[in-house]
Amino acid sequence: MSSVREIAKQVGVSAATVSRALRGHPDISSVTRRKIVSAANRVGYTGGRSGTSQVLVLGYVSTSSSPVLSLYDCMLLSGVRRALTGSGCEVQLIDLHRDKPGDETYSEFFTRRGVRGVVVQSDTGHRDLCRAISEEGFPCVVLAEEFDEPEISFVCCDARSEIAQMVDHLVQLGHERIGLAVPEHEDHDHVNRAEGYREGLRRHGLEPDASLVVRIPSSREGGGNAINELMSRREPPTAMFVTDPFPSIGALCRMHEVGLSVPGDLSLVGFDDGQMRRQVYPLLTAVCQPTEQLGLVAAQWLLRRVNGEADEPIRRVLPATFEVNQTTAVPPGRVVRIQPDGRPLGAV
């Protein structure tokens, strides 16, 4: 099984043609080539290591253009590795962005690396990449993006309802002016999070107020600036939701810096995809994405898929969680403002 001969028989060509197609030889009609590539993926062809007992290796494809692994990658990878515990299977990090030559199929690119299936950590800019890999029939599951195409496998997280629930929590504490800080560069997830915020407000008859929304760089600094910007408004919010981890930390630190008390002067809710909420003071109330779980669920499916045990694509949307910690409380009994540069208002 899983030899060029086997594939040749299925497609109705010679073993030589299969070999050429799989090796990326140019003189192959694109139609037979496509048939061969998808047959190879169907039977899980590994590139013929003679009788060698090859170990199953899965790939983790990061679409980032930098070799640096973010804490987010790290959590996803931990989930992937957890899924593989006991399977004897290993994971290889693949930097597609930098490495893939344009003239080979993704299947060949992965196979040359000994990789039998891939988990793709994608973003909005790489949806076509995910489509292309899936179209070749190479075992693939996308993390953190949702697709309409029924043949594309993905595991993502929808935090909308937990964000709405977070708004409930703030409203119940007495907040009516709830600020929002979202990244300038919006992707599907952030549109989603902003929607959850608006849904939550509407549920309580509160109209989203554009003057309470700021767009910021997705960095520590960006979160800090959101504090300066919102809290120097004539009518500042009494609570604020930041939709990304680093800006959440930045907002919290900036409050300390400018002398605003958390949660006394402003209730702060962050977004966490790791453990950041637990590494700051006070412990940050946050909507949390189950990042490791994303990797775990995706890799569990991929492992079954590669072993021929999963026929259907996986299309899973995991829920977020809302964790109340120490940065939310009742609104201040007075208007709390600062100057745009962070100095107290009294010093005008």
Partner DNA sequence: CTGAAAGCGCTTACAG
Task: Please report which residue ranges of 138-219 form alpha helices under DSSP H.
Answer: 160-173, 188-203
Gyration radius of the chain's alpha carbons: 25
Q: Is 61 in the site for a second copy (CB under 8 A)?
A: no
Beta strands (DSSP E) in the chain are: 57-62, 90-94, 115-121, 140-143, 154-158, 178-183, 213-216, 239-242, 267-272, 285-288, 315-319, 321-323
- Contact partner, 67, from DNA, a second copy, none, Cβ < 5-8 Å per class: a second copy
In the bound complex, what is the minimum distance in angstroms from residue 114's beta carbon to a second copy?
A: 4
Q: Is 19 in the site for DNA (CB under 7 A)?
A: yes
Stretch that binds a second copy, among 43-51, 179-187, 230-238, 340-348 (CB under 8 A): 43-51
Q: Is 144 in the site for a second copy (CB under 8 A)?
A: no
Q: Which is nearer to DNA, 6 or 123 (CB)?
A: 6
SS3 state at 186: coil
Q: Which of 22, 166, 284, 298 binds DNA (CB under 7 A)?
A: 22
SS3 state at 100: coil
The CA distance from 172 to 329, in Å, is 10
Question: Binding pattern to DNA, positions 40-79, x when CB under 7 A?
Answer: -----x-xx-xxx---------------------------
HSE, CB side, 13 Å, CA atoms: give it for residue 166.
36
- Contact partner, 85, from DNA, a second copy, none, Cβ < 5-8 Å per class: a second copy
Q: Is 67 in the site for a second copy (CB under 8 A)?
A: yes
Q: How many CB atoms lie within 10 A of CB 162?
A: 20
The CA distance from 294 to 235, in Å, is 40
In the bound complex, what is the minimum distance in angstroms from residue 124's beta carbon to DNA?
A: 35
Stretch that binds a second copy, among 6-14, 42-50, 120-128, 171-179 (CB under 8 A): 42-50
The CA distance from 119 to 93, in Å, is 10
Q: Is 252 in the site for a second copy (CB under 8 A)?
A: yes
Neighbour-count burial of 225, counting CB atoms closer than 10 A to its CB (0-12 exposed, 13-18 middle, 19+ buried)? buried
Buried b (16+ CB within 10 A) or exposed e, 307-323: eeebeebbbbebebebb
In the bound complex, what is the minimum distance in angstroms from residue 116's beta carbon to a second copy?
A: 11
In the bound complex, what is the minimum distance in angstroms from residue 116's beta carbon to DNA?
A: 14
Q: Which of 14, 16, 42, 93 binds a second copy (CB under 8 A)?
A: 93
Structure tokens at 176: 């009516």
Q: Which of 276, 298, 306, 329 binds a second copy (CB under 8 A)?
A: 276
Binding region for DNA (CB under 7 A): 2-5, 12-17, 19-20, 22-23, 26-30, 32-33, 45, 47-48, 50-52
**Positions in the binding site for a second copy (CB under 8 A):** 23, 47-50, 52-55, 57, 67-71, 73-74, 77-78, 81-82, 84-86, 88, 90-95, 98-99, 112-114, 220, 249, 252-253, 256-257, 276, 278-282, 292
